[in-house]
Amino acid sequence: MSFSDYKTALVTGASAGMGAAIVERFCKEGLTVHAVARRKDRLQDLAARTGCIPHELDMTDYAGLNELLGNLEVDVLVNNAGLGMVGNLTTLGEDDINNMIDLNLRSVLQSVRVVLPGMIARDRGHIINISSIAGHYNFGGNPVYHATKSAIHMLSQQIRVDVLGKRIRVTEICPGRVETEIFNTNHGVSSGEEAHKKFYEGYEVPSAEHIADTAAFAVNMPSYVNVGLIEIMPTFQVPGGLTTLKTK
C-alpha cells in the first residue's frame, strides 16, 4: 500500500513538533488528516496552513477519545502524543507517574483498541507509533518514561502478531534527540530559548520534518512491505554506553 491506497489519517499530539510536521506532510500527500491536540490556537493555525481537520482533545479524556474515534474511519493512525518528565522513582510524584503512563501508554492502547477493528474489517491500515530510543536503551534518569516507551515497543510487535493475515502494517519510529519543544519544560530550563541553547545550540540534530519524512517513507512502501522499526538520531549521538564506578 502507498498513500494512494489510503484516504484518512489521524495524528495525535499534532499541535507542534513531530505531530505537526507529520500532519503537514500527510496533507501534502493527499490524505484527509484529522489533527488531535489540546492547544486550540495551534490547531487552528495548523488547519489554516495545511487544510487538516482539527480536534481539540486531551488524549487522556478517554470518553472523548472513544467518541471521536468511534465516528471516524481511520486508515493511518499516528500515535505521537507523549510526555517526558525528568526524575526517578524517588523524586517523581504519584501524579507525575500517572500522567506519563496515561498519555504515553494508556491513550495509545485506547486509540488502537477503537481504530483497529475497522482496519481489520476493511483489510487495510497502518499504525505508526512514535516511540523513542528510551524504549530500547538505558540512559540516565526517568525510568517511567523509559518504561512507557518500552511498552510501546512491545505493543507494536504484538499488534503485528494479532493482525497477521490482514493488510495492516505497524511501524515504530524511535527518535533520538530531535529539535522539538519536548525540552522546553521540566528539563532544568525555564524557557524555550534556554532549552534551545542547552540542548540544540552547537549540535547537529534531526528536525521534526525528518521524522515526518520517515513516517511517509514507511507508509509509501508497497502493501507487502512492513517497515517495522526505525531508529533515527543524530550522527553524533550513540545510544547506550557502559558505566562502571570504582568502589575504592
CA distance 248 to 245: 9
Q: Whose grid coordinates read 524504549?
A: 135
Instruction: For the beta carbon of residue 190, count every other beta carbon within 10 angstroms.
Output: 9
Phi, psi of 101 (to 5 degrees): -65, -45
Which of 76, 98, 193, 77 is closest to 144 using CA atoms? Answer: 98
Q: What share of the chain is helix, strand, coil (3-state, %, to 5)?
A: 45, 15, 40
SS3 153: helix
Tell me if residue 145 is catalytic. Answer: yes
Which of 132, 129, 207, 211 is closest to 176 using CA atoms? Answer: 132
SS3 73: coil
**What are 52's three cell numbers?**
487538516
- Catalytic one of 6, 62, 137, 145: 145
Long-range contacts of 37-42 (CB under 8 A, 24+ apart): 37/12, 37/13, 37/81, 39/15, 42/15, 42/16
Catalytic residue IDs: 145
